[in-house]
Chains A and B, each alone.
Chain A
Amino acid sequence: MSLYALQKLLYELNRDPRVQDEFAANREAMLARYRLSDQEADAVRSDDIGLLYILGVNGQILMHFAAWRGLAWDQYIQAMKDALAKHGQVRGGIYAAVDGGEGGAV
């Protein structure tokens, strides 16, 4: 259930500037409203885009979120590659890495 909640938080952040404002002003209160694991909440708190990828956040949600958090394209791709090396394969969803995460257009 918590991957669903994590993705819902990012989905709502991605599409609604008012939710983004609340996130900036009162992040902890907002996180408390979603049933996140400690690891998921920490990944959001620390903008750990790579770990969010490994936890299974849908790539399209995460790509938009990473852009909103200010990651340049190459930083975003590299964050996923680094997290794959550190944590191993993606744990849920349909965006698993292939070929050991090699290749890509960076």
Chain B
Amino acid sequence: MSLVFAGIMSHGPGMRARADRADPAVRDPFFATLDRLRERLEESRPDALMVIAAEHFANFFMNNMPPYCVGMAEDYDGPIEDPEWLRIPRRTVPGNADLSRRIIGKVMERVDVAYAEEWKFDHGIMVPLSFLTPGFDLPVIPANINCQGPPLTPLTRAYEFGRAVRAACDAVPERIALIGTGGISHWPATPNSGKINVDWDREFLGRWTRNDRAALTSYTDEETLRDAGQGGFEIRTLVAVAGACDGSSGDVWFCEPIPIFATSGFAAVMNLDEQAAAKAA
């Protein structure tokens, strides 16, 4: 089939771990937006959800760090964090090893990726799943982009990875939903946790919704570190989703700073129908 849904959202552990401490005036409309995102996902009737995430040393370490890796397991355990701390119970999430294998094979025609038959989810995947598939019942295909241990893959390559993912999704009969998750600007896990550059976030999301490839991939890591913190390196996951939707544009549904979540709470979708309509015309 192809992609039936494509969106992006934040994944800060605080969205579950410290939800009670967020200002309800911002938190409640954000969570209501994530409910809408879940409804849009469900309406797309996906057979599987591919999650492009920026994990945080749950599986990959500097002894052998893949720039890109796609999961190929029957199932996945998570979260690796203390479940009491994250406030998401530990569980097993279904995968689809056969579908993963076919997608990985197609992605490899254009981009070199690693694969993993073992993978433990951290908050970067568990938090989005807890909002989008609260029953944890939709088969997941995890993909990871190294956003933590430099050298990091260039943004232009992240966009190309997304294009390769799209070609792979176009080549399988299943209906695939795609979600990219990462912070925009943030300084997480530092004494400055809660610092957010909301102007930078909105500028980035503007480039994302226009799917302006040149603008999206023009940030240098030095600029990102200065203006958006080391957490800003995670824009790779969002750029990849734009790549998967090359030719489509999108809408921002929500973007407001929520300091106790360490990032802006955000959600945005790409409008895949436009592209199909243009192709048909």
Residue A62 is within 8 A (CB to CB) of chain B in the complex? yes
A94 to chain B, nearest CB (A): 4
Q: What is the bound-complex CA distance between A5 and B116, given in angstroms? A: 23
Contact B191–A97 (Cβ < 8 Å):
yes
Distance A61 CA – B80 CA, assembled complex (angstroms):
11
A8 touching B61, Cβ below 8 Å: yes
Q: Mark B32-58, 1 if CB is under 8 A from A, else 0.
A: 000000000000000000000000111
Q: Which of B122, B230, B262 contacts A64 (CB 8 A)?
A: B122
Cβ A104 vs Cβ B195 within 8 A: yes
Chain B interface, DSSP helix/strand/loop, else mixed? loop
Cross-chain contact of B195 among A4, A60, A96, A98 (Cβ < 8 A): A98
Q: Is the CB of A61 within 8 A of B192?
A: no
In this complex, the member of B57, B120, B149 whose beta carbon has the largest number of chain A beta carbons within 10 angstroms is B57
Q: Kindly list chain A residues whose C-beta atoms are within 8 Å of the C-beta of B17.
A: 73
In the complex the two chains form, is A14's CB within 8 Å of B57's CB? yes
A95–B229 CA distance with the chains assembled, in angstroms: 9
Kindly supply a per-residue 1/0 record for chain A positions 35-59, scoring 1 wherever the CB is within 8 Å of any chain B CB and 0 otherwise.
Answer: 0000000000000000001000011
A33 to B268, CA, bound (A): 46
**Most chain A Cβ neighbours within 10 Å, of B193, B233, B260, B262:** B193
B123 and chain A: residue at smallest CB distance? A64
Instruction: Judge whether B190 and A95 touch: CB under 8 Å.
Output: yes
Interface of A, helix, strand, loop or mixed by DSSP: helix
- Chain B: interface residue total (CB-CB under 8 A): 37
Known contacts A60-B189, A67-B85, A103-B192: A98-B229 contact under CB 8 Å: yes
Q: Once the chains bind, are B230 and A95 in contact (CB under 8 Å)?
A: yes
Q: How many A-B residue pairs have CB under 8 A?
A: 99
Do B195 and A63 touch (CB < 8 A)?
A: no
Contact call B230/A99, Cβ cutoff below 8 A: no
B259 within 8 A of A: yes
- Shortest distance between the CB of A35 and any CB in chain B (Å): 14
- Is A23 positioned at the interface, with any CB of B under 8 Å from its CB? no
A56 to B235, CA, bound (A): 23
B148, A104: Cβ atoms closer than 8 Å: no
Task: Report how far A77 CA is from B17 CA in the complex, Å.
Answer: 15
The answer to whether the Cβ of B128 comes within 8 Å of any Cβ in the partner chain is: no
Can you list, as one digit per residue, whether each of B55-88 has a CB less than 8 Å from chain A (1) or not (0)?
0111101110000000000000000111001100
Interface string of A73-106 (1 = CB under 8 A from B): 1000100110010000000001111110111111
Q: Is the CB of B262 within 8 A of A105?
A: yes
Closest to B80 in A: A15
| Other-chain residue from B63, B150, B195, B260 in contact with A103 (beta carbon distance below 8 A) | B195
Q: Which 10 A-B pairs have the closest CB atoms?
A: A59-B189, A105-B194, A60-B56, A105-B259, A101-B191, A67-B85, A63-B189, A104-B194, A94-B230, A81-B191
Question: B-side interface residues toward A, CB under 8 Å?
Answer: 13-14, 17-18, 56-59, 61-63, 80-82, 85-86, 120, 122, 148-150, 187-195, 225, 229-230, 233, 259-260, 262
